[in-house]
C-alpha cells in the first residue's frame, strides 16, 4: 500500500473468505501490528489468543446471537483480551489493537472483520464473553473485547464511497448546536 489514505478508503469488513490458509509471515504481521499498537501510558493491557483450530472456530461462531457466524468459515481468528486491573482504559487500548490488525490485514491483501463480543449476548441472554471464555479457557481476570476474523477475501467489496462522508458532523472550535 502506498498511502494510508488509500488503505483506509479500501478497507471494508469482509464476511466471506476462501479456504486458503494464512502463511506464517501473514500471521506474524497481524500480531506484530497488534503488539506495537499504542496504549495509554504504555501499559499494554491486552492479550491475544490466535485460533486456527476448525472445531474451536466453529464453537466461537455460536458465541452470540448475531454476527459471529462468519468465524466458522475463516482460517484464523484472533481473540482480543485485556486486563482491566492494569488499565482503566482497557477497552480503548484493546480497540486500538483490534483496529491495527484490521488495517494490517488489508495492507496484506487479506480480508478481516471485527466481531464485537463485549456487551453482546447469546440467544439465551447470557453474555457472549462467557462462552468465549469457556471455549478458550481464558483466565477470569481478563475481559474479551472482540474477535478479529481474518482470511483471504472470498468476495470483492467496493471502496468506501466518499460521497457518503458526513461532513455536517464536523464542528470547528465549538459544537454550536441549534437551539431547540
Tens digit of each residue's pLDDT (9 = 90 or more) over 93-136: 999 999 999 999 999 999 999 999 999 999 899 999 999 999 99
Under 8 Å CB-to-CB from 105, ≥6 apart: which residues?
30, 111, 112, 148, 150
Decide: 101 and 148 in contact? Cβ < 8 Å.
yes
DSSP 116-180: E-TT-B-TTS-BHHHHHHHHHT--TT-EEEEEEEEEEBSS--PPP-GGG--GGG--SSS--PPP-
Give residue 72's pLDDT: 96
Q: What is the pLDDT of residue 167?
A: 92
Residues contacting residue 122 through CB under 8 Å, at least 6 positions apart: 62, 63, 64, 65, 128, 130, 131
Please give the residue that has the higher pLDDT: either 1 or 140. Answer: 140
Q: How far is CA 172 from CA 77, 96, 113, 176, in A?
A: 40, 25, 32, 9
pLDDT score of 178 more than 90: no
As a whole number, the mean pLDDT across the chain is: 94
pLDDT, tens only, 54-105: 999 999 999 999 999 999 999 999 999 999 999 999 999 999 999 999 999 9
Question: Running DSSP on this structure, what letter comes out for residue 39?
Answer: -
Please give the residue that has the higher pLDDT: either 177 or 43.
43
Q: Is residue 8 predicted with pLDDT exceeding 90?
A: no
Whether 180 shows a pLDDT value over 70: the answer reads no
pLDDT computed for residue 70 by the predictor: 96
**More reliable by pLDDT, 37 or 175:** 37
pLDDT single digits (tens) 29-58? 999 999 999 999 999 999 999 999 999 999
Cell numbers 488509500 label which residue?
6
Amino acid at each position: 500500500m502506498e498511502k494510508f489514505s488509500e488503505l483506509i478508503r479500501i478497507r471494508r469488513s469482509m464476511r466471506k473468505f476462501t479456504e486458503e490458509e494464512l502463511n506464517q509471515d501473514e500471521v506474524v504481521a497481524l500480531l506484530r501490528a497488534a503488539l506495537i499498537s499504542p496504549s495509554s501510558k504504555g501499559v499494554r493491557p491486552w492479550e491475544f489468543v490466535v485460533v486456527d483450530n476448525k472445531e474451536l472456530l466453529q464453537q466461537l461462531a455460536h458465541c452470540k446471537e448475531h454476527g459471529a457466524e462468519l468465524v466458522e468459515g475463516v482460517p484464523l481468528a484472533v481473540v482480543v483480551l485485556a486486563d482491566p486491573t492494569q488499565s482503566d482504559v482497557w477497552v480503548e487500548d484493546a480497540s486500538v489493537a483490534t483496529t491495527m490488525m484490521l488495517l494490517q490485514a488489508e495492507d496484506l491483501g487479506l480480508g478481516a472483520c471485527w466481531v464485537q463480543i463485549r456487551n453482546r449476548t447469546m440467544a439465551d441472554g447470557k453474555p457472549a464473553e462467557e462462552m468465549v471464555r469457556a471455549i478458550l479457557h481464558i483466565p477470569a481476570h481478563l475481559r474479551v473485547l472482540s474477535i478479529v476474523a481474518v482470511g483471504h477475501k472470498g468476495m470483492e467489496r467496493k471502496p468506501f464511497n466518499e460521497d457518503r462522508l458526513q461532513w455536517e458532523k464536523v464542528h470547528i472550535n465549538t459544537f454550536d448546536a441549534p437551539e431547540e
